[in-house]
Amino acid sequence: MSERSETKRHGAILLAGGRASRVDGAAKPLFDVGGRTLLGAAVEAVRAVDARPITVAGPEAAASDVGVDLDGVDFVREDPPFGGPVAGGVAALDAWRTGDVVPEWTFLLACDVPGIGAAVARLAQDVLLLPGDSDGVCLADASGRPQWLAGVYRTEALTRGAAALDDRGRDAPVRALVADLAIAVVRAPADETDDVDTWEDLNRARAAAGQDAYDTHRTEEAR
């Protein structure tokens, strides 16, 4: 940590660099659900808890495409691209090392969850209740399975986990990044953990938001 660095409670890494093969390679973070893109919803969610820095691990996007002001939002990309979410997270952590703000906690979030606002709010509350020797908290889906990319973790612990990975985390499972961390798992409602992996998921999310989903596939292919 440099002498000019300061400590802030929350930072955020938003993972938006996948191939999206199940939606024909479409830009999932730019899917519109309920009048907001998924990436825009994620940016707004972490801003609501005063996260800084905010780093998107994925292709750089214009504010006009994301639908929110991107002032203060940085973009990084793992090298080479498409190395998986862990490689994206490692690239973001590396970018922070020379920054002015070193957050105590880091939100690590996938950008394909329409209910990300409620998920982040829950995590921000739950992290305050953790014992001092805990490294973080993540949400579990309805089946009780941990969703590691819906979590908030001690930045120091994430950095330590990243340093132990081979090949800068390329193609590593997310569990490998947090394997040695003491993490509380909190079951959350399905609408806080359900993600958009397929066109059917997108249609379902749009229907839940009261949005017409009839031409979803055709509309997103035309973007």
pTM: 0.92
Q: What phi, psi does 188 have (nearest 5°)?
A: -125, 160
Distance CA 78, CA 87 (A): 6
Q: Which fold is adopted by the domain 6-209?
A: Spore Coat Polysaccharide Biosynthesis Protein SpsA; Chain A (3.90.550)
- 175-219 pLDDT, tens digit per residue, is 999 999 999 999 999 999 999 999 999 999 999 999 876 545 444
Question: Residue type at 83?
Answer: G
- 103-117 pLDDT, tens digit per residue, is 999 999 999 999 999
What is the torsional sign of CA 211, 214, 219, 220? Answer: positive
Task: Sketch the domain layout of the chain as residue ranges.
Answer: 6-209
Helix or strand (DSSP H, E) at 42: helix 38-48
- 130-167 pLDDT, tens digit per residue, is 999 999 999 999 899 999 999 999 999 999 999 999 99
- Tokens read off for 88: 């994206």
Tell me the H-state helices in 127-184. 155-163, 174-178
